[in-house]
Amino acid sequence: MRFFLIQSLNGLALGGLLFLLSSGFSLIFGLMRVANLAHGAFFMLGAYVGLSALRAGLGFFAAVVIGGLAIAILGALLERFLLRKLAGRLLSQVLITLGIAFIIGDASLLVWSGDPMPLPIPDALAGVVRFGSIFFPRYRLAVVGFSVVVLAILWVALERTRVGAMIRAGVDDMEMARGLGIAVPRLFTLVFCLGAALAGMGGVLGGPILSVYPGLDMDMLPLALIVLILGGPGNLLGAFAGSYFIGFLYTFGQALFPDLAYVILFLPMVAALALRPQGLFKLRAA
């Protein structure tokens, strides 16, 4: 019982981080039909930027904001000057985002070296919370709470604002959105910046749990792709459900069957592609 409770709490923490990564990834793909393979690199680079902010003497929460803003700016430049010129050319977009991921990876290795570097836990969230005989880090529970807050904010923004209505219209029918006079290029830039910012913030928040190291991007990207497939493109609630499902599945797979962890992880993706390519968690599109 103790083992399953601890692993369940670990699965919740990983699910929260995956949602921060995959929610933006899902919105970008749902609206722009761009499989941004640099998204995992955004997560890793955000963590490195946050680490540099902490070393400069800034607080942890300031580092989270700076990491998100830095990656949002990078995302805006990538969308405006590269991806916009390749609109409708799927293979070219995949190739260029993969190339950007490799460039970010090599540049990070050059600047921050190849050693794993954990980010310090903020003092306000240090310590543990007791569940009976179980002691669990307070910070990991805070990450879960933060993911729920982000879900609520995104849901309100997408469902209760004019910009959210335009994004949902673009996800449902891009040609109709153009016909209604929606400024699609600006919408693309906004959504891409939002997705990139969420990935950057997720990287900083994940630093105390995962550490930051070369290869973190390629460790996280497959998880985001699986969540996208399970939740459905552009489906915010599907991304939330898929993130926690994969968080639990990956955590228990690593703990119980370490030699088969990736088999257990990728089987749902194969099943989803074969049986429900629109996503297992088919809720209303964002």
Q: Give tens-digit pLDDT for 19-78.
A: 999 998 988 888 778 889 999 999 999 999 999 999 999 999 999 999 999 999 999 999
- What's the pLDDT score for residue 132? 77
Q: Which residues, other chains included, contact 191 with Cβ-Cβ below 8 Å and sequence gap of 6+?
A: 27, 28, 31, 32, 167
Q: Which residue has the higher pLDDT, 161 or 88?
A: 161
Contact 225, 126 (CB under 8 A): no
- What's the pLDDT score for residue 177? 77
- What's the pLDDT score for residue 48? 98
Q: Domains (ranges, CATH) in the chain?
A: 2-285 (1.10.3470)
Nearest to 51 by CA among 193, 219, 213: 213
Partners of 80 in beta bridges: none
Q: Which residue has the higher pLDDT, 17 or 280?
A: 17
Nearest to 200 by CA among 97, 75, 37: 75
Three-point CA angle 69, 79, 68, nearest 5°: 15
Contact 244, 9 (CB under 8 A): no
**In the structure, what pLDDT confidence band is assigned to residue 100 with cuts at 50, 70 and 90?**
very high
Nearest to 114 by CA among 38, 44, 199, 209: 44
91-116 burial, b at 16+ Cβ within 10 Å, e below that, comes to: eebeebbbebbeebbeebeeebeeee
pLDDT average, residue stretch 237-262 = 89
**In the structure, what pLDDT confidence band is assigned to residue 282 with cuts at 50, 70 and 90?**
low
- What's the pLDDT score for residue 259? 85
Map tokens 């998100």 to a residue. 68
